[in-house]
Amino acid sequence: MKKGKNKMAYIKIYIHLVWSTKNREPYLRKKIRYDLFDHIRENAKTKNIHIDCINGYTDHVHCLVSLKPDQTIAKIMQLIKGESSFWLNREYFKKTKFEWQEEYFAVSVGESRIKRVRDYIKNQEEHHKKKTFMDEYNEFIEKYNFLLVN
């Protein structure tokens, strides 16, 4: 690299994010869910957040994101959850108040597992015909030995 040129950072960090509706209420019917995912994708673009894939079920969302050097998981979650709950309330929940649960999962994904995580996220509807979100939640806690971070 020539002297005086900007130095580049080459970073590839994938994070699998999972969050749920407040009290895990099944608010996200199919039409709402698909509109929500489209909205989150479009809004994320305006905030320079790269969403590789997103899907979920009636009470939760899975999202695979690629972090940029200046991004943190906490900030991405704040931007996605905050704006999407505002949008959902404006578009769908005018008489009641929609909220996301405060907690969320965030797990790094190695390059060799990206396709597997994408497939898992894309098949949420089929997956949840056999397993509840609470079962999935408890498996995540156990599998990844999660510690609660405030």
Q: What domain range includes position 82?
A: 13-144
Residue 2 lies in a domain: no
Residue 136 resides in a domain: yes
Q: How far is CA 129 from the centre of its chain?
A: 20
What's the average pLDDT block by block, 10 residues per block, for the chain (150 residues)?
A: 66 95 95 97 97 97 96 96 96 92 94 96 88 79 70
Instruction: Give burial (CB, 10 Å; 0-12/13-18/19+) of 12.
Output: exposed
The Cα 22–Cα 98 span in angstroms is 8
Can you give the CATH number for the domain in which 80 is found?
A: 3.30.70.1290
Task: Tell me whether residue 6 is in a domain.
Answer: no
pLDDT value of position 1: 47
Residue 3 lies in a domain: no
- 74's CB contacts (< 8 A; 6+ apart) are none
Would 134 be classed as within a structural domain?
A: yes
Residue 4 lies in a domain: no
In a domain, 149, yes or no: no
- 8 domain residue, yes or no: no
Number of domains in the chain: 1
Beta-strand runs (E) in the chain? 13-21, 50-57, 60-67, 100-109
Q: How far apart are CA 72 and CA 37, in angstroms?
A: 21
Q: What is the pLDDT of residue 149?
A: 62
Give the DSSP H/E element, type plus range, for residue 99. Answer: none
The β-bridge partners of 65 are 15, 51
CA distance 114 to 120: 10
- Longest CA span, the chain: 61
